[in-house]
Amino acid sequence: MVENPYQNFLETPEEQKPQRNSTFRLFLEVLQTLALAVVLYFLIDLVIARVRVENISMLPTLQPGEFVLVNKMAYQFGDFDRGDIVVFHYSEQEDYIKRVIGLPGDQIEISNGEVRVNDQLLAEPYISAAPQYNGSWEVPPDNLFVLGDNRNQSSDSHRWGYINEESVVGEAMVVYWPLDEFQILSQPVIVKANN
C-alpha cells in the first residue's frame, strides 16, 4: 500500500472537532482571566485609592507629581491619630492631602513659630519651616484640624477651619511613583496630648 504524502494535511470533519474545542477552551480561559482581573481591580479600588500630589503644601514629605496609595479602610476600623497624613474631599472637585494635628476636643495654639496641642509642644521634624502665623482653635466634635508640612505655603485648617471626619477618603500609606522616591509614610509620634 502506498501512503499519500499529503495525508497528514488533509483533515476529516472528525479531526477538526478537537481543534475547535481547544480553541473554544482557550477563549473561555482568556475570558475568565479577564473577568477575574476586572473583579480584582474593583475590589482593590474599594480599599485602595491612588492619589497624585498636585502642590507644594506637604513639602518636604511629599513632592508635587508623586503618586500615593491611600488606605480607604483605615478609619472604618481604627481611629484618627495625630500625625496621620490624610486625603479628604475639600470640595466636590478637589481632594487635599494634609497632616492631622488636632483631634475632636483638642486645643490648638500656634504662636512664635510653635504648634501646641493641649498645651504640649509638637515635635515636628518633618516640616519645611516653622509657621509664621498665630492663632488658636478648639476642634469641635467629629472634626479634625489639619496642616500642611510646608506650613507657610499651605492652605489648611489655619486658614479655612476644620474638616469633617466624614470627608476623609483615607490615610496615605506609600509613595509608589516615581520609583526612586518610593517611601512608606510612617506616622511620627508628634505629641501625646491629653484630651
Q: Which residues are the active-site residues?
A: 57, 98
Distance of CA 102 to the CA centre of its chain: 20
**Helix residue ranges, H only, 55-109:** none
Supply 75's cell numbers.
478609619
For the four alpha carbons of 183, 44, 163 and 91, in that order, the dihedral sign comes to positive
- Residue with grid cell 490624610, as numbered in its chain: 86
Amino acid at 165: E
Beta strands at 85-89 and 114-117: parallel, antiparallel or unpaired: unpaired
Is residue 109 within 8 Å of residue 116, measured between CB atoms? yes
